[in-house]
Every structure is written in structure tokens, then in C-alpha cells.
Amino acid sequence: MWRGGHSLGSGADHKTGDLSSGIVVKALGGHYYVRTGNETIDCGLRGRLKQLRLETDLLAVGDRVQFRHLANGRGIIEEVLPRRTALSRKTVRLGVEAEQVLVANPDQVVVVFAVREPVPRLRMLDRFLVIAEMNELPAVICANKIDLAEEGEPQALFGVYEELGYQVIYTSAVTGEGVDALRQLLTGRLSVLCGPSGVGKSSLLNAVEPGLGLTVRETSRKTGKGRHATVIPEIVPLSLGGYVADTPGLRSLALWDLVPEELDAYFPEMRPWVAHCRYPGCSHIHEPGCAVKAAVERGEISPTRYDSYIRMHENLAETDWWE
């Protein structure tokens, strides 16, 4: 696993013409801000790299690059290293199916939900988990605002996910409980933080790293429609090593490229059963002899998770079912 950016690059003592390696932390209008050591260099892209690539994005935040230092303090990217992982969605470019990369090389997705305020919509959590599964990224759940909950309430809400094998950490940005565990989880990794508005993502990052100074909402309000950022513009370096993409953008990551027939593959608890259904291509909704439904009836699959599956299956034809 790639760990942080501390050992990368030569720091401030580089000479013009030297090659350094680094990671793209921000991409804006043809400028790529590359983190190397403890500095960030404004880089352009070598012309030969600019050839239109239809099948995937040329560069995204999280990409590791080799760049050359220029006399004016800027840099020029000479090479983009192969991506290890990606959080991406399918799109179509000039009639060709293509990949839009939201973050390159993430190590994990951290899905943040509040125990209360706002009331957790676990179906939305299930969608985030499906996105992580689709992208073959490990997902960790962070249940925040435990200071607002009754004794045992957080576990009652999120325990089912622990049983599924997902790591769940219980936190409060107010009391600081669980913040060490979150810090440990984020250190040395590139994490994509996602979750509904107002659950405390920015507050948690500020608690993990005082001085980060991310904007925290005074009161949580509903996100206006029309805010549909599909690219993640920036990843934030952590002083302990590691990077975090704190993004509202995932909300708009509709799963329109997922076909209903594939959905069962992204519910880990269903995987062992699908081969035992009577009919191949069973939707696990109305067919007789369905091993998944039988497992639900025996209590081996959570009824709420199964309900999420059914809703997602029904809604997959719709293009914008995030909000």
C-alpha cells in the first residue's frame, strides 16, 4: 500500500531541471498542484501527455506523477504513474464508454453518518457501500455525534454493518471520543470521506488535525439541488501523512452505470447465496426458490439491508436518485 507523501520528492533543496515525484492534490484549469515533501508545486503538463485519452481521465487528484522543476519555481509533469485504484464512474466521451476518475489511488472510503441530527438514512449508507464495493475499495463506517445518542443507540444502528464485516468507528467531534481511532485510520492513507451534509465530516477532520480549519456549518441545512459537482477538486494532506478528500460531490454519484443484475454482487451478505437460487439471473425479489430470500427469512440476512437492495434494484433505472 502506498503510504503518505512524506518520503516523496527532495523537499525545498531541488535544483532546476531535477525530477521529483509527488501527488496531485488539486487540479484547476490546467494547473496541477503537486505535493512533494512539505511543499506544493504548481505544475503544468508536458505537451506529449496531453493527447486526448478517451478511455480514462488523464489526471485526477491522487495521481502520482514525476515532474521537473522549472526556473520560475513551477514544475512540468513528465509522467503519470499507473493508478493502483480509482474511485470512478462510467461516462461517455465522443460516443466511447469512458471512465471519469473522481479520485485516483484512494486506499479507502470512509462513510460518515451521524447517529442523530440528521437522523441516519441507512439506505443512503447502503448506497455508499455499494459504490465502494463497485470500485473495489475498502469501506469503513464512521458513526459520529455519539454524544447526542442514548446508551447503546449507536451500536443498535450500526452493529449490523459490523456483523457484515465492515469496520465501524464511533466518534464525537464534540467530546473527542473516537477521534484517535479515526486519526489512526486516516494516517498514511488516501481516504475518500463521504456522507450526507451536516453529519460532521469537516468537524471530524478539524478534530483529527487541529489547524486544518475546514469550514463547519453553523446549522445543518438541506443541500440545495443543482449542486452537482462530479469532480473532486482537492485532497487535503494530513501532517501525520496521508490525504483526505472531504467531498460533498459523491452525493451526485448516481449509479446509473450499474445494472440491476449486478447489484447482488455488491451486497457482501448475498454473495454466498446467489449461486443457490433456483433460477440463474434471479433478481432475489419475486422468484420462487430464491436462496437469498430464504436467508432473509431465516434471519441470516438483515431485513433492512434486503429492503435497501430491493429499493436500489427498483430505482436503478432512474438517473438521479440521490436526493
Residues that bind Mg ion (CB under 5 A): 201-202
**How far, in Å, are 193, 276, 283, 302 from residue 273 at the CA level?**
31, 5, 12, 14
> What percentage of the chain's residues is helix, strand, coil (to nearest 5)?
25, 25, 50
Minimum distance between the CB of residue 103 and ligand GTP, rounded to whole angstroms? 16
Q: Counting Cβ atoms within 10 Å, is residue 313 exposed (0-12), middle (13-18) or buried (19+)?
A: middle
Minimum distance between the CB of residue 61 and ligand GTP, rounded to whole angstroms? 18
Give bridge partners of residue 319 from the DSSP assignment.
Answer: none
Pairing of strands 31-36, 19-28: antiparallel
58-76 b/e (C-beta count within 10 Å ≥ 16 → b) = bbbbbbbbbbbbeeeeebb
Cβ-based neighbour number of residue 32 at 10 Å: 26
Q: Which does 203 bind (CB under 5 to 8 A by kind): Zn ion, Mg ion, ligand GTP, none?
A: ligand GTP
Give bridge partners of residue 56 from the DSSP assignment.
Answer: 99
Q: Which does 145 bind (CB under 5 to 8 A by kind): ligand GTP, Mg ion, Zn ion, none?
A: ligand GTP
What backbone phi and psi angles, to 5 degrees, belong to 97?
Answer: -65, 130
Of 245 and 277, CB closest to Mg ion: 245
Of 90 and 217, CB closest to ligand GTP: 217
Owner of C-alpha cell 459523491: 250
Q: Which does 174 bind (CB under 5 to 8 A by kind): Mg ion, ligand GTP, Zn ion, none?
A: ligand GTP
**How far, in Å, are 12, 29, 156, 183, 229 from residue 176 at the CA level?**
35, 38, 21, 11, 31
Minimum distance between the CB of residue 305 and Zn ion, rounded to whole angstroms? 15
Q: Is the peptide bond before 118 cis (omega within 30 degrees of 0)?
A: yes
Minimum distance between the CB of residue 196 and Mg ion, rounded to whole angstroms? 11
Of 42 and 117, CB closest to ligand GTP: 117
Of 201 and 284, CB closest to Zn ion: 284
Residue 227 near residue 271, CB atoms below 8 Å: no
Length reported for the chain: 323
Q: Which does 35 bind (CB under 5 to 8 A by kind): Zn ion, Mg ion, ligand GTP, none?
A: none
Kindly list the residues in this chain that would bind Zn ion in the complex (CB under 5 A).
Answer: 277, 282, 284, 290, 292
Q: CA–CA separation, 289 vs 273, rounded Å?
A: 11
Minimum distance between the CB of residue 258 and Zn ion, rounded to whole angstroms? 18
Cβ-based neighbour number of residue 163 at 10 Å: 10
Q: Which does 200 bind (CB under 5 to 8 A by kind): Mg ion, ligand GTP, Zn ion, none?
A: ligand GTP
Minimum distance between the CB of residue 148 and Zn ion, rounded to whole angstroms? 39
Of 201 and 284, CB closest to ligand GTP: 201
Of 263 and 277, CB closest to Zn ion: 277
Q: Which does 64 bind (CB under 5 to 8 A by kind): Mg ion, ligand GTP, Zn ion, none?
A: none
Q: Which does 199 bind (CB under 5 to 8 A by kind): Zn ion, ligand GTP, Mg ion, none?
A: ligand GTP
Kindly list the residues in this chain that would bind ligand GTP in the complex (CB under 6 A).
Answer: 144-145, 147-148, 172-174, 197-203, 216-217, 220, 248
Nearest CA among 25, 35, 31, 51 for reference residue 43: 31
Minimum distance between the CB of residue 234 and ligand GTP, rounded to whole angstroms? 13
Of 217 and 271, CB closest to Zn ion: 271
What is the number of the residue whose Cβ is closest to ligand GTP?
200
Minimum distance between the CB of residue 237 and Mg ion, rounded to whole angstroms? 17
Of 36 and 202, CB closest to Mg ion: 202
